[in-house]
Amino acid sequence: MNKLSNAVDIQAVRSLPGMFYAQAERHSAQPFLWHKVDGTYRPWTWQQVAEAVTAAAHGLKAAGVKRGDRVMLVAENRPEWLIADIAVMSIGAVTVPAYTTNTAVNHLHILNDSGCGLAIVSTPQLAKTLITAAVEADHKVAVYVIDTPDLVMTSEITPKSWAELLATGDGHGMAPPEDVASLNRSDLCCIIYTSGTGGLPRGVMLSHGNILCNCDGATDLLATLDIGDEVFLSFLPLSHAYEHSGGQFFPISAGAEIYYAEGVETLSKNLTEARPTIMTAVPRLYESMRQRIIQNLKRQSKLQQSMFGLALELGRKRYETPKAMSLWDKTRDFVVERLVRTKVRARFGGRLKAMVSGGAPLNYDVGLFFIALGVPLLQGYGQTEAAPVISANPPKRVKLKTVGPPLKGVEVKIAADGEILVRGELVMKGYWNDPDATIAAVDDQGWLHTADIGHLDEDGYLEITDRKRDIIINSGGDNVSPQHVQGVLDLEENVAQSFVYGDRKPYITAVIVPDADFAATWAQTHGVPGDLASLAANAEFKALIAKHVEHANTKMTVTEKVRKFVLATQPFTVENGQMTPTLKVRRHAVLREYRDALEALYA
């Protein structure tokens, strides 16, 4: 039975704004959105948000925005993001989210490709980058700034005030704009540009029904958790489909509260403040959390370290071989549950019902680490073209080596070459301005070709084995999964990131990014410069990292082993363009930096 007491009947909903306004009427005076004001979380009620959405919608119409027009949205996660997003959709226009980390070149590509005639941006700093692009756009772009637009110093485009836009549309209360009644599930609601791990981003056209299908599937998936008054912590970029659907519209469908994290660097603090019951994140974040927990453990007493190790050992045994748990094991497990696992869960707020991993493959050992410590981690799978969630592990029956069964309303089949094909209401309308790419991605029977390789197990759970495009085929004809090799390397204690190479080569090579704290400590101890560029040329330091690579190699097959490597001169980051905003490595960007060094390893 569906136990989401605050959820709407998603099957009966015709649009995302329609769902929002129904929930706002139902939960009117209850808190909905929480954000920091002077260092303290303050709430917006459902009624306050609905009134702001309605005012923004009428303000946008007064500004000349019509049905079908595209509106760019550039902002960090905050209440105004949701308000602007739903306001745009409420008048039949189309939201075009863009990352706050975008350069002017990135913005210009999206502005020209999408044809956005109006952009909403949060801060003067972000506005400067956006306006640099808007000046070069091949059409006129009006820019509205949420925070202090008068601080934006520019002569080319005069920014307008978000507050004035709201004032223009004020006076309608929380009544939905009349356009909402005419919206249908098949209508285009947003164009989300893929993060571009392989090149220029493409605009994925998503309908109201695409995202509603995801909300319905998530509702069905989590129904066994007795979900009622739920709290989400939003910190992944809302410009990414994963957070847009899972961290914004699914909470709306469930009648939940949303806390906006201040940033990744304050996540630990925000977790204890918000005390979320459900959260979504990418594997890179879980890897970092695991590494931080392990590093902190080194500062604890021998007894505490021993108890922590026992909690991991017994938790792993309970998950992998539950029938092998003896009475003595169960007794000790009861003790570490209270002495260790309760404290670990408290670091996540203490009331998590589900922590969902998606956006990239989750390393088995990372997932098992959290499961063993009593943190309920579910791995899912999807892509922007599927709005984005395709499958996920059910809370009561997690199989960590899989991404779970398809969600409700989703069909999955495996093609002859192993490619995963997906069909259902969640499949995108196509790529904006790219009909050829659309035809290549979605066939005439409605199957989305994911370019992922995998299979369905005996329980109907989907297991991803690799990306169709990313498989390395060495010169001997052997297939090597770069994701698997990188996953093994990244688990080494003093390895922060890795990138493997070797297509049509006799063996595998890699770029290794050492752990920053380890590198700094080692450099200080040895009296040498601590920047990665200097350490990359230090033979003694490289020999130490080589031991970690050798240890990782013991867990790999002969063809997977990393024979040689180079040290990175800087971490892979969003800022240097070597990672996407959702923390996936951009292969083409890393290769551009290190291809010559990697090729030299084969000389």
The pLDDT value given to residue 3: 53
What pLDDT shows up at residue 32?
98
- The pLDDT of 57-62, averaged and rounded, is 97
C-alpha torsion angle, residues 577, 581, 587, 590 (rounded to 10): 30
Q: What is the CATH number of the domain that holds 502?
A: 3.30.300.30
Helix (H, G, I), strand (E, B) or coil at 424: strand
Q: Are the beta carbons of 244 and 238 closer than 8 angstroms?
A: yes
Are 291 and 416 in the same domain? yes
The total number of structural domains in the chain stands at 3
Alpha-carbon distance 192 to 351, whole Å?
A: 32
What range does the domain containing 493 cover?
472-600
Q: Which spans in 400-453 are helix H?
A: 435-441
Residue 401 included in any domain:
yes
592 and 450: one domain? no
| pLDDT surpassing 60 at residue 391 | yes
Cβ count within 10 A of residue 168: 17
Of 251, 221, 548, the closest CA to residue 394 belongs to 221
Same domain, 389 and 364: yes
pLDDT higher at 367 or 197: 367
How many residues make up the chain in this entry? 603
- The whole-number average pLDDT for the span 427-449 is 96
The token pair at 443 is: 């066939």
Q: What is the CATH number of the domain that holds 360?
A: 3.40.50.12780
Q: Can you tell me which residue has the tokens 């991803």?
A: 464
Total Cβ atoms within 10 A of residue 601:
16
Nearest CA to 592 among 602, 577, 581? 577
Q: What is the mean pLDDT of residues 409-434?
A: 96
- Strand 118-121's sheet: what is its strand order? 160-161, 142-145, 118-121, 70-74, 94-98, 188-193, 203-207, 430-431
Rounded to whole angstroms, the maximal C-alpha distance in the chain is: 76
Can you tell me the mean pLDDT for 485-514? 93
Tokens 């052997």, residue?
478
Which is nearest to 551 in space by CA: 601, 502, 603, 490? 490
The two three-digit tokens of residue 387, written as one number: 């709005």
pLDDT in tens, 202-257: 999 999 999 999 999 999 999 888 777 899 999 999 999 999 999 999 999 999 99
The answer to whether residue 505 sits within a structural domain is: yes
390, 461 Cβ separation under 8 angstroms: no
Would you say residue 352 has pLDDT above 90?
yes
8 Å CB contact between 344 and 293: yes
End residue of a domain, out of 415, 443, 467: 467
Averaged pLDDT of the chain = 93
- Cα-Cα-Cα-Cα torsion 276, 76, 359, 277, nearest 10 degrees, comes to 10
**554 CB-side CA count, 13 A:** 7
In-domain check, residue 321: no
| Claim to verify: residue 50 and residue 199 sit in the same structural domain | yes
Q: In whole angstroms, what is the distance from residue 356 CA to residue 280 CA?
A: 5
Segment among 219-228, 418-427, 558-567 with least mean pLDDT: 219-228
**In contact, 141 and 116? CB cutoff 8 Å:** yes
Q: Give a yes or no: residue 313 inside a domain.
A: no
Lowest mean pLDDT among 199-208, 414-423, 454-463: 199-208
For residue 293 the two structure tokens come to: 């927990």
Q: Is residue 303 part of a domain?
A: no
Residue 531 has pLDDT above 50, yes or no: yes
Q: What percent of the chain has pLDDT over 70?
A: 98
User: Do both 433 and 523 map to the same domain?
Assistant: no
Q: Rounded to whole angstroms, how far apart are CA atoms 163 and 112?
A: 27
CB neighbourhood size of 538 (10 A) = 18
Residue 322 lies in a domain: no
Distance CA 585, CA 282 (A): 12
What is the pLDDT, as a whole number, of residue 172?
Answer: 85
Nearest residue to 237 via CA among 126, 144, 163, 162: 126
When pLDDT is cut at 50, 70 and 90, the band that residue 62 belongs to is: very high
How does residue 110 score in pLDDT terms, banded at 50, 70 and 90?
A: very high
* CA quadruple 570, 572, 574, 576: dihedral sign: positive
pLDDT band at 200 (very low <50, low <70, confident <90, very high): confident
Residue 362: inside a domain, yes or no? yes
Model confidence, pTM: 0.85
Please choose, from the candidates 212, 158, 192, 179, the residue with its C-alpha nearest in 3D space to the C-alpha of residue 57: 179
Q: Between 16-27 and 79-90, two packed helices, what is the crossing angle to 10 degrees?
A: 120
Statement to judge: residues 169 and 56 lie in one domain? yes
Whether residues 123 and 254 fall in one domain: yes
Q: 240 and 289 share a domain?
A: no
173 with 157: CB under 8 angstroms? no
Residue 3 lies in a domain: no
- Two tokens, residue 469: 């495009």
C-alpha gyration radius of the chain: 25
Structure-token match 């995963």, residue found: 420
| Exposed e or buried b per residue across 223-248, where buried means at least 16 C-beta atoms within 10 angstroms of its C-beta | bebebeebbbbbbbbbbbbbbbbbbb
Confidence band for 149, pLDDT divided at 50, 70 and 90: confident
Task: Judge if 133 and 154 occupy the same domain.
Answer: yes
pLDDT of residue 196: 53
Cα distance from N-terminal residue to C-terminal residue, the chain: 63
Query: pLDDT grade, residue 565 (50/70/90)?
Result: very high
189, 23 Cβ separation under 8 angstroms: no
Q: Are residues 110 and 237 in the same domain?
A: yes
Last residue of a domain, one of 467, 495, 529: 467
Q: Is the pLDDT of residue 195 over 80?
A: no
Backbone angles phi, psi at 22, to 5 degrees: -65, -40
Give me the pLDDT at residue 448, please: 98
Can you tell me the distance from the alpha carbon of 127 to that of 114, in angstroms, rounded to the nearest whole number? Answer: 19
Q: Are 286 and 352 in contact (CB under 8 A)?
A: no
The pLDDT of residue 569 is 96
User: Taking 50 as the threshold, does the pLDDT of residue 312 lie above it?
Assistant: yes
Give start and end residues of each alpha helix (H) in 28-123. Answer: 46-62, 79-90, 104-114
